[in-house]
């Protein structure tokens, strides 16, 4: 960030905003919160919605996959008195200003063009010296807004942690959260809703049988175990780990610390069979685990990373409203339905990833870029998560991945990620924005992850335009 992080300045800004909004709420003005369908969007939208509702505001909520001029027009025609956008909109501020005058607020963390930076309706992490790619997500931005509306909204702090993990911002030492996310995490801990501990990082610690959790590891990719439940089961049994409790498979969360040590040794033997580089690899397996103690054991809500994936699956499988309900506290039916979507989501993503890895015709390597064609294979809503997983696959991890798939009849959706061990300095947010604009589309995002939408007809030139922007 170009200047020192300025937490107090951000809080003052929110205090001033909330004072102004209080009067509108008292006058019965109609508010709408418009947010993105991914987990960070759902958490930030839910917090903003709840904070306004608790203040007695008349408020609606809406989720959108992208904010484009068409969506802005639809919203304008609905004539709300005040619009709040979360996890959206930093790139289209001038369009918003034309359509909605000064009756809107944008809470965001995406890198923003200079025109937006100067607009008083925008509160963005970057304006306060926080890196929106690693230190602050929309959920954290929304949390401090909610807290300014009423200090008792501190009970929502755990959602900012879920949002930060969803946007893969746990990039501090040992997978910790830093910057503004770190501050929100401390508040979540002091509210007693969340605890942090060091543990094995396998995904599905609360819900999956141990051998399945290990077999589903993609980052790090464990040769001989990743993708094979049977191999994982055999290796664990051989190490003498008790796999079942009466008739039920045991999960990672149930193991004793002795057993976890054994698991670590088993996995390490596959990762570094020759004993070389073992310590560093084991370091990648252990890190901060965020547990939501108020949630039921064996549900995907108890581990904040699983909670994040559950919300992503709601948004990406076409049921973002369900994700919002879960964020605002609905459990029973919503949770059951969410868990069903979660397994569908995983299966879909897996199918897409395998489809790309097994068809070299879908991949074109140019310089340190891999251009991936997902047309007729990858659903546009899943393109982001699929691209993220490819970023840790052995054949892509040293490259920049730019993936495309069809969106409707006339557009292409583009998603780009920097591979896990790629080391040349690139800024995908700027690159996607400029390349898309040149082709009559819109794009943007972060340094390590960004996306775009362009007209289908320009697809053949996209790779060339990106490479020009990248200067390779």
Q: Would you place residue 59 in the very low, low, confident or very high pLDDT band (cuts 50, 70, 90)?
A: very high
Residues 6+ apart with CB under 8 A from 396: 370, 390, 419
Instruction: List residues bridging with 197 in a β-sheet.
Output: 289
* Mean pLDDT in residue range 8-22: 95
- Secondary structure, 3-state, 299-359: CCCCEHHHHHHHHHHHHHCCCHHHHHHHHCCCCHHHHHHHHHHHHHHHHHHHHHHHHHHCC
Locate CATH 3.10.310.40 in the chain.
359-470
Q: Quick one: what percent of the chain has pLDDT higher than 70?
A: 97
Residues 6+ apart with CB under 8 A from 109: 87, 124, 125, 126, 130, 132, 133, 136, 137, 138, 140, 141
Question: Considering the entire predicted model, what is its pTM?
Answer: 0.89
Instruction: List residues bridging with 358 in a β-sheet.
Output: none
Residues 6+ apart with CB under 8 A from 218: 226, 389, 392, 393
User: Per residue in 417-464, pLDDT tens?
Assistant: 999 889 888 999 999 999 999 999 999 888 889 999 999 999 999 999
Copy the structure tokens of residue 204.
């599905």
Q: Please say if the pLDDT value at position 1 is more than 50.
A: no
- The fold of 7-171 is inorganic pyrophosphatase (n-terminal core) (3.90.1640)
Q: Please say if the pLDDT value at position 38 is more than 50.
A: yes
Residue that is written with structure tokens 């025609």 in the block: 77
Q: Please say if the pLDDT value at position 119 is more than 90.
A: no
Determine how β-strand 286-291 pairs with β-strand 248-249: unpaired
Copy the structure tokens of residue 432.
């996607």
Q: Please say if the pLDDT value at position 45 is more than 50.
A: yes
Q: What is the pLDDT of residue 276?
A: 55
The per-residue pLDDT of the chain, averaged, comes to 92
Q: What is the pLDDT of residue 174?
A: 92
How many distinct helices (H) and strands (E) make up the chain? 18, 15
Q: Rounded CA gap, 297 and 310, in Å? A: 15
DSSP assignment string, 42-88: HHHHHHHHHHHHHTT-EEEEEEES---HHHHHHHHHT--SEEEEES-
N residues, the chain: 472
* Mean pLDDT in residue range 155-173: 96
Instruction: List residues bridging with 36 in a β-sheet.
Output: 64
Locate CATH 3.90.1640.30 in the chain.
7-171
Copy the structure tokens of residue 328.
């605002």
3-state secondary structure of 218: strand
Domain 359-470, CATH class in plain words = alpha beta
User: Per residue in 172-220, pLDDT tens?
Assistant: 999 999 999 999 999 999 999 999 999 999 989 999 999 999 998 776 7
For helices 39-54 and 304-316, give the axis angle rounded to 10 degrees.
100
User: Per residue in 245-304, pLDDT tens?
Assistant: 999 999 999 999 999 999 998 998 888 765 555 666 677 789 999 999 999 988 999 999
């Amino acid at each position: 960030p170009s200047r020192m992080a300025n937490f107090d300045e951000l809080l003052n800004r929110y205090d001033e905003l909330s004072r102004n909004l209080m009067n509108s709420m008292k006058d019965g003005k109609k508010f709408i919160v418009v947010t993105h369908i991914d987990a960070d969007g759902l958490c930030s939208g839910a917090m903003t919605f709840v904070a306004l509702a608790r203040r007695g505001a008349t408020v609606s909520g809406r989720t959108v996959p992208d904010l484009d001029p068409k969506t802005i027009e639809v919203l304008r025609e609905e004539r709300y008195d005040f619009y709040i956008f979360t996890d959206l909109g930093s790139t289209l501020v001038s369009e918003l200003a034309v359509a909605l005058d000064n009756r809107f607020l944008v809470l965001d963390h995406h890198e923003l063009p200079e025109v937006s930076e100067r607009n008083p309706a925008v509160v963005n992490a970057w304006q306060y010296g926080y890196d929106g790619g690693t230190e602050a997500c929309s959920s954290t931005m929304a949390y401090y807004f909610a807290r300014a509306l009423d200090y008792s909204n501190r009970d929502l702090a755990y959602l900012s942690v879920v949002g930060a993990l969803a946007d893969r911002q746990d990039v501090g030492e040992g997978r910790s959260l830093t910057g503004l996310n770190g501050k929100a995490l401390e508040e979540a801990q002091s509210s007693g809703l969340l605890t942090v501990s060091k543990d094995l990082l396998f995904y599905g610690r609360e819900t999956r049988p141990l051998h399945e959790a290990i077999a589903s590891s993609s980052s790090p990719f464990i040769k001989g175990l990743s993708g094979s439940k049977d191999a994982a089961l055999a290796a664990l049994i051989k190490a003498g780990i008790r796999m079942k409790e009466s008739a039920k498979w045991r999960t990672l969360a149930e193991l004793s610390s002795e057993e976890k040590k054994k698991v670590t040794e088993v996995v390490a033997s596959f990762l570094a069979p020759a004993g070389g580089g073992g310590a560093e690899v084991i370091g990648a397996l252990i890190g901060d685990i965020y547990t939501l103690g108020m949630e039921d054991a064996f549900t995907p809500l108890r581990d904040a990373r699983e909670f994040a994936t559950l919300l992503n699956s709601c948004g990406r499988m076409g049921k973002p409203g369900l994700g919002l309900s879960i964020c605002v506290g609905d459990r029973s039916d919503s949770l059951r339905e969410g868990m069903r979507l979660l397994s569908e989501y995983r299966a879909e993503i897996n199918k897409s990833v395998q489809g790309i890895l097994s068809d070299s015709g879908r991949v074109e390597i140019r310089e340190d870029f891999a251009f991936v064609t997902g047309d007729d294979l990858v659903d546009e809503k899943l393109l982001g998560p699929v691209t993220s997983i490819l970023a840790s696959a052995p054949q892509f991890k040293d490259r920049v991945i730019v993936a495309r798939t069809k969106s409707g009849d006339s557009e292409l959706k583009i998603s780009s990620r920097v591979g896990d061990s790629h080391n040349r300095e690139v800024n995908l947010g700027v690159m996607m924005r400029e390349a898309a604009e040149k082709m009559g589309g819109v794009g943007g995002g972060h340094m390590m992850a960004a996306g775009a939408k362009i007209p289908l007809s320009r697809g053949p030139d996209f790779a060339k335009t990106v490479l020009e922007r990248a200067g390779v």
